[in-house]
Homo-oligomer: A and B are copies of this chain.
Amino acid sequence: MIKADKPQPFSANCPSREILELIGGKWSLLILCLLKAGPQRTGSIMRSVQGISQKMLTQTLRDLERSGIVTRKSYSEVPPRVEYSLTPLGETLSVLVLPFEQWVVDNYEQVIVAQARFDALHTEDSKNQDA
């Protein structure tokens, strides 16, 4: 019989992995933040989230919709109008982002300094003048 490793909260099948991928996407959190302000049309989101392509926008929104985070409301009009908004579940998730946003505001500079310092230490130029 196989002696399994002790099960741990970081196992490959841990649910957090999937959620992590869901909100860990490059754009998910950004869109989530944006939708906190209220329903938005596709084009509006695209203009707001600079640098996102239409493909990624649709893909990310679909993913969020699939997971019950956002709702897609399509109006049968011409020209077509589609509005995305947070579901109640999405709202509970979006509020968690607030402290994180604040953390970025509070500590961004510190991170930049740390990065610059690290880069300097690991640059060849600096190893001749350590005194």
The listed residue (B66, B101, B118) touching A118 by CB distance below 8 A is: B66
A109 to chain B, nearest CB (A): 9
- In the bound complex, what is the Cα–Cα distance between A81 and B63 (angstroms)? 42
Interface residues of A in 98-127 (CB under 8 A from B): 99-101, 103-104, 107-108, 110-115, 118-119
Contacts of A119 in B (CB 8 A): 66
Interface size on A, residues (CB 8 A): 49
Closest to A116 in B: B66
Identical subunits present? 2
The answer to whether B20 and A29 touch across the interface, beta carbons within 8 angstroms, is: yes
Measured in the bound complex, the distance between the Cα atoms of B113 and A32 in whole Å is 20
**Which residues of A are at the interface with B, using a C-beta cutoff of 8 A?**
5, 8-12, 15-16, 18-22, 24-26, 29-30, 33-34, 47-51, 65-69, 89, 92-93, 96, 99-101, 103-104, 107-108, 110-115, 118-119
